[in-house]
Amino acid sequence: MSTVYFLAQQTMYFAIPLLIVALGGMFSERSGIVNIALEGIMVVGAFFGIGFINIFQNTMSGQTLLLLAVLVAAAAGALFSLFHAFAAINLKANQTISGTALNMFAPAFAVYTARMIQGVQQVQFMDTFYIRSVPILGDIPVLGQMFFRNAYITTYIGFAIFLISWFIINNTRFGLRLRACGEHPQAADSVGINVYNIRYAGVIISGILAGIGGLTFVIPTSTNFNATVDGYGFLALAVLIFGQWRTQKILVAAFFFGIMKTFASAYSGIPFLKVLPISNEVYKMIPYIATLVVLTFSSKKSQAPRAEGIPYDKGSR
Amino acid sequence: MRRIKLLQYEGFTSFLSSLMAIVAGLLVGLIILLISNAEDAFPAFITILKGGFLDGTRGMAQVIYFAIPIIMTGLSVGFAFKTGLFNIGASGQFTLGAFVAIYIGIKWSFVPEQIHWLVALLGAMAAGAVWGSGPGILKAFFNVNEVITSIMMNYIGMYLVNMSIVKTVYDSLKNQTKPVLKSAILPKAGMDKLFNTGNVSIGIFIVIIAVIVIYIILQKTTFGYELKACGSNKEASKYAGINEKRSIILSMVIAGALSGLGGGLLYLSGSGKYIHVLDVLAPEGFSGISVALLGMSHPIGILLSGLFIAHLEVGGFNIQLYNFVPEVIDMIIAVIIYCGAFALLFKQIISRFIKKGTSEDIEEPQQAAKIPVAAESQVVNSETEENDTEQREDN
Amino acid sequence: MEYVIEMNNITKVFGNFKALDDVTFKVKKGEVHALLGENGAGKSTLMSVLFGLYQAEKGSIKINEKSVKINNPNDASSLKIGMVHQHFKLVHNFTVLESIILGRETVNMGILKKDDARKKVIDLSKRYKLRIDPDAYISDITVGMQQRVEILKMLYSDSEILIFDEPTAVLTPQEIEELMKIMKELVNEGKSIVFISHKLNEIKEAADRCTVLRKGKYIGTVDVATTTKEQMSEMMVGRKINFNIDKNDIETGEAILEVKNLTVIAKNSKKNLVNNVSFEVKAGEILCIAGIDGNGQSELVYGITGLIPINEGQVLLKGKDITKESVRKKSLDGMSHIPEDRHKHGVILDFDLKQNAVLQTYFELRFQKNGFIKFNAVKEYAKKLIKQYDIRSPRDEDSTVRNMSGGNQQKLIVAREIDKDPNIVIAVQPTRGLDIGATEYIHKQLIAQRDQGKAVLLVSLELDEVMDVSDRILVIYEGEIVGDLAPKEITVEELGLYMAGSKRSDKYEKN
């Protein structure tokens, strides 16, 4: 049973960043802008977030420090995403190229800045945020062990983001208008909605969430940031597509992959698996192979936003 | 009028746009250097610009050495672009090719010496081709976005190769592949005397041949015509009777073969390069994207931009003398690519300018010009194709 | 004289192109005022200026006698101007209610309050007799209902001035009648209506006055009741139009194309898009399949030509069963297809003219050897087509097709398909979006083919085209053939009844 709890806790570390970033991607794409720069934005968010912790961890610690770092990561991600927004919306550039450029820039920037400032490229930090057990909630039988022990506050932030995103997309004026811009921007424009502004908002939200996602990825799994998020930004895109751009399905998809990843890295903790002569690399491949299999069967009937990737031109009727 | 005529040539406007992007990128690089260390910034910048020429023929050889793999991956990505696919999986194909080349180079000692390296290169191409076919088949038959599948294949390929190295050609002390047999190393053909260094091979000639072959395929053959048609307008190609599935798969197979060949050329160059068993994706695959974009997906353009980027990389390597970090080059290249994205806008404006001046009646406004690097709306919109059914769901 | 709209000396320029040249347009309160002109005359542009989608370079606008500046649709909206666009601006996966409130949502701190909106919408729908279902999804409702949603959008924001842009293009004759009634109802309530059209019949029926534009210039305003169709059309095109097309009677020959029991089932809804259709096209005849968009004719043609798979049935060409052949094989067997959507299927916009000229034939031995293209042969061929068919373009055979006008793109497609010397030409909406000159030209080409003894299958929803060009008419409704008519023996109104499913020939009674 303790294995199950262990797996559940580990899954959180992998699933939550995927969830947050995929939701960010959703806001961008449903407003009409393809954003494959999620990987790069995660790197930027993680870099500034971890950097912030590194600088201030002598004077602050614990959840306060982490929460401030989350804000820093969000801001950094938002600012970085503006480059993509500007290229895609104002200049009507090819969004895949713009996204790729950001993905290339981010890790190079992280390495360069880290080495220029502190000489080495890994940015270290002390983990003072680990929550052994949430008061009261952690003592609930079964569920307490699974969700409220060996956790980080970022996990709960992730769930909050999910609930807020779901609400915004479905029940607010902003959500309605955002969806219109992604499906049929001419319709939105003809009722006086400013498509450009809404799309900017969509991209900036994706920047905020991807930034937070980057930080959320590094904190539970490491003690330093090494200018990479191991392809998580791209995995988040897969989650977005598998989740058919809808919040609830994205949640399911994120946890599916989270479980796969956990399996891959934690299999040595499962007694009977440890003995099998399957090499470590095979386990590492599993999440990626699983993604391929799943996508193969779910791509036929896509609900991608119809106007995504197409720059909006007022002249076209 | 002369000016309009000149601007009507696609090649000229493309070249102009690339040039502007390069200047912008270099400027940003200079600014970064200035912010980091104003004193040494200008000398360092000049060093970057000098690139390989800093070191005479040895430097030039180094540029060629760096250029070879990325021109190949650039061709790979560019070729796929022309046919409407974004081959972000060049890394995985490259790695597979490299591994197979090394494996043949070490284990297949039964192959006659004179052609050992050739057989190894062919093996590399085959491996890359197989690896490229995966995303191609999934896209053709299941309509899966090739960007995501290629990325997955990159990682799967990396783990697969690492695992295979450990099982077959492993140097456990240095955690890398063993050296290949002498016969598998690419011949030098006297180039080492010419460039005054051991770091050369006939690799560059093979690259040039590849460039020419791809150019001929794309521009002169019916096969190229079909591929470009599919890349530009899938529906019209169907109407024209072109077998779309076949085109997608063949295109990815060729792209994969090109990247695989790149891998083989790099690791058989006899310069002491070994595959390290680390969980790191081959960066040459991503450089290929930059090369393809900067070269506007045109084979000749790719050749030139590959050399140019390699030139910058050597320059970047050299600025460590001034205590700068070479990653600034990657940032410069990223900015060049970023600016390249709206260089295409520049071309669009020119095209509208021509149309207004020459055609008489304008009946319906046409959609914004589809960008030649068809990755744009095809990449993610490929999924909307079969969208006849309406399945709205609550979000 | 109270003018509710006054647009004075409007000039609108796009680059080098003058879309509107010193146009004056005045609408009285409470009237139905038609705006007549050919494609490209500037009607939509003028209304777009009124609606704030474009800003005029010169000129002024007065609404209700007050000078105004309309910079965007929001300004137009606050001036109580509303517009129903030709191409509906509706989001496919929104509900009717969501579509109506988009842009005018009632909110409480940003959160949507749908109940109040729902009430208002239902009230409006009852008051103006606009039947709708607030919770239906746009993609599921009929075109007629979609248009009513667009009208409700205007009424929901309390528009007083309503602009309809080619409202009848996609409606059945019966739905058109309903629309006329709705417009009368709206005028009774004090609204003023502008409707843009190039259909003289409708203008005669519904409008009080009519303003004519030609090539961006204001030609005149007439009182509809006292002006004949011929007079209005002369103003519209600048010359007398021959309403009847010259066509000789020809003896028909053997059946070239035979379609037997053709059925196409929708992938996901299991609905029969084409339901057991059988017919034949003889040599020397133009058979027209007439029907409102969306009744299966697109799928019928795609099935015959091989672009989509057929579930049941057979297609025979000169007696040979070609049902299962590939698109290319069918083309080689003598089938030519002028597609419905020229940008989607007909041409590759980024290729140049000569590459498009050989789109169907590039693999033939005259254009390639061992896989290598014979560039000279291709170039000469393109030049020949340009000369023979009078195709205009910026750089002749080297022009990028994207830079050609729609009419010339279509001429290129027609040229290419006819030059193949096919046994049958399948032309779907071949004159859609084209001006009178190009339309006449293409009709002439089709008739010439028929005169030479070829078979022509024409699919159209332009009633004039259907009546004047075809030798025989088959009406398609909801995937089935419901009538086999001779154009000389029926009236347009009768044809309309068939198209709307209200009438069926005895042969085609439903069992």
Average pLDDT taken over every residue of chain A? 87
Q: What percent of chain A has pLDDT over 70?
A: 95
Q: Which of A97, A303, A316 to mutate to test the interface with B (most CBs of B within 10 A)?
A: A97
Tokens of B111: 């192959």
Q: Which of C331, C351, C435 sits opposite B232 (nearest CB)?
A: C351
Start-to-end C-alpha separation, chain C: 60
Please, which contacts does C393-396 make with residues 24 or more away whose CB atoms are closer than 8 Å? C393/B359, C393/C353, C394/B354, C394/B355, C394/B358, C394/B359, C395/B8, C395/B358, C396/C353
Contact C102 A190 (CB under 8 A): no
Per-residue pLDDT, C221: 93
Encode pLDDT of A188-229 as tens digits.
988 888 999 999 999 999 999 999 999 999 998 888 899 888
Q: Is B334 inside a domain boundary?
A: no
The predicted pLDDT at position C19 comes to 84
**Residue B140 sits in which domain range?**
56-68+77-282
Cα B382 from Cα A250, distance rounded (Å): 20
At residue C27, the pLDDT reads 93
List A residues 108-137 in contact with B (Cβ-Cβ < 8 A): 108-109, 111-112, 115-116
Can you list the domains of chain A with their CATH numbers?
2-298 (1.10.3470)
Contacts of residues A280-287 at CB distance under 8 Å and 24 or more positions apart, as own/partner, are A281/B159, A281/B160, A281/B162, A281/B163, A282/B159, A282/B163, A284/B159, A284/B279, A285/B155, A285/B156, A285/B159, A285/B160, A286/A260, A287/A235, A287/A257, A287/A260, A287/A261
Give the pLDDT score at B381: 32
What's the rounded mean pLDDT across residues A237-259?
90
Task: Give the residue with greater pLDDT, A305 vs B262.
Answer: B262
pLDDT at B359: 41
More confident residue, B229 or C439: B229
Asked if B368 and A310 come within 8 Å (Cβ–Cβ), the reply is yes
Contact C456, C285 (CB under 8 A): yes
pLDDT tops 90 at residue A248: yes
pLDDT in tens, C103-114: 888 888 888 888
A306 at interface of B, judged by CB pairs closer than 8 A: yes
Q: Is the pLDDT of residue B3 over 60?
A: no
Q: What is the mean pLDDT of chain C?
A: 86
Q: What is the mean pLDDT of residues B119-142?
A: 94
Select, from the ranges B4-8, B132-136, B297-301, C142-146, the one with the highest average predicted confidence (pLDDT): B132-136
pLDDT (0 to 100) of residue C243: 54
Distance set, CA A253 to CA A12, A249, A259 (Å): 13, 6, 10
Q: Model confidence at B51, in pLDDT bands (50, 70, 90)?
A: confident
Amino acid C39: pLDDT: 65
**Contact (Cβ atoms closer than 8 angstroms) between residue B55 and residue B80:** no
pLDDT band at B376 (very low <50, low <70, confident <90, very high): very low
Interface check for A306 against chain C (CB to CB < 8 A): the answer is yes
B102 domain residue, yes or no:
yes
Q: A211 and A78 in contact (C-beta within 8 Å)?
A: yes
What chains are in contact with C, requiring at least 3 Cβ pairs below 8 Å? A, B
Q: What is the pLDDT of residue B146?
A: 84
Instruction: Report d(CA B187, CA B182) in Å as an integer.
Output: 10
Looking up tokens 């096969």, which residue turns up?
Answer: B223
Mind listing the pLDDT tens digit for each residue in C369-378? 999 999 999 9
Averaged pLDDT of chain B? 82
Distance CA A203, CA A87 (A): 11
pLDDT at C358 over 50: yes
Do C3-237 and C242-334+422-511 fold alike per CATH? yes
Residue B370 confidence class, pLDDT cut points 50, 70, 90: very low
d(CA C474, CA C466): 10
pLDDT tens, position by position, A18-45 = 999 999 999 999 999 999 899 999 999 9
- Chain A neighbours among B 21-60 (CB < 8 Å)? 32, 36-37
Read off the pLDDT band of B383 (50, 70, 90). very low
Any chains having at least 3 CB pairs less than 8 A from chain A are B, C
Q: Which of B239, B364, B384, B393 to mutate to test the interface with C (most CBs of C within 10 A)?
A: B239
pTM: 0.82
How is chain C split into domains, by residue range? Answer: 3-237, 242-334+422-511, 353-420
Per-range mean pLDDT, top range of B83-97, B322-336, C2-16, C134-148: B83-97
The beta-carbon neighbor of B331 closest among A112, A244, A279 is A112
Confidence at residue A37, expressed as pLDDT on a 0 to 100 scale: 94
Tens of pLDDT, residue by residue over B165-209, are 988 988 888 888 888 888 888 887 777 777 777 677 888 999 999
pLDDT of residue B153: 94
Kindly indicate whether the domain formed by C242-334+422-511 is annotated with CATH number 3.40.50.300.
yes
Interface residue A186 vs chain C (CB under 8 A): yes
Helix H, strand E, coil C: the string for B184-216 is HCCCCCCHHHHHCCCCCCCHHHHHHHHHHHHHH
Band (C509; pLDDT cuts 50, 70, 90):
low
Residue A191: what pLDDT?
Answer: 86
Residue B361: per-residue pLDDT: 37
Dihedral class, residue C52 (left if φ above 0, else alpha if ψ from -120 to 50, else beta): left
Q: Could you tell me what percent of chain A has a pLDDT over 90?
A: 46
Q: Does A271 touch chain C (CB under 8 A)?
A: no
3-class SS at A291? helix
Output the pLDDT for position A306: 80
Chain centre distance of CA A208: 10
Report the Cα B275 to chain-centroid distance in Å.
20
- The total of structural domains in chain B comes to 1
Judged by CB atoms closer than 8 Å, whether chains meet at B232 and C394 is answered as no
Closest CB from C93, C343, C368 relative to B392: C93
Percent of chain B with pLDDT over 90: 39
CATH for the stretch C3-237: 3.40.50.300
Q: pLDDT category, A316, cuts 50, 70, 90?
A: very low
Q: Report the C-alpha dihedral over residues A194, A195, A198, A199, rounded to 10 degrees.
A: -150
What three-state secondary structure class fits C391? coil
- Higher pLDDT among residues C3 and C241, named by residue: C3
Q: Name the least confident of A68-77, B82-91, B191-200, B274-283.
A: B191-200
Please determine, for residue C308, whether its predicted confidence score (pLDDT) is greater than 80: yes
In a domain, B314, yes or no: no
| ∠ Cα C34 C39 C45 (to 5°) | 65
User: Does A187 sit within 8 Å of C90, measured CB to CB?
Assistant: yes
Token reading at C6:
């006054």
pLDDT at B392: 35
> Which pLDDT does position B384 carry in this prediction?
31
Percent of chain B exceeding pLDDT 70 equals: 84
Residue B188 lies in a domain: yes
B240 contacts in chain C (CB < 8 Å): 327-328, 359-360
The string of pLDDT tens digits covering residues C425-484 is 999 999 887 777 778 888 999 999 999 989 999 998 777 788 889 999 999 888 889 889
Q: Which of A27, A96, A283 is the mutation pick for testing B, counting most B CBs within 10 A?
A: A96
Phi then psi dihedrals of residue C505, to 5 deg: -65, 155
- Which of C50, C74, C89 would you mutate first to test chain A, the one with the most A CBs within 10 A? C89
How are beta strands C285-290 and C472-477 bridged, if at all?
A: parallel
| Per-residue model confidence (pLDDT) at position C172 | 67
Question: According to the model, what pLDDT value does residue C170 have?
Answer: 67
Q: pLDDT class for C380, splitting at 50, 70, 90?
A: very high
pLDDT exceeds 60 at position C420: yes
Burial class (CB in 10 A: 0-12, 13-18, 19+), C180: middle
* Confidence at B5, pLDDT banded by 50, 70, 90: low
Of B8, B220, B232, the CB nearest to C350: B232
**Per-residue model confidence as pLDDT tens digits over A108-141:** 999 999 988 888 888 888 888 887 777 777 777 7
- Within-domain flag for B248: yes
Of residues B297, B224, C213, the one with CA closest to residue A96: B297
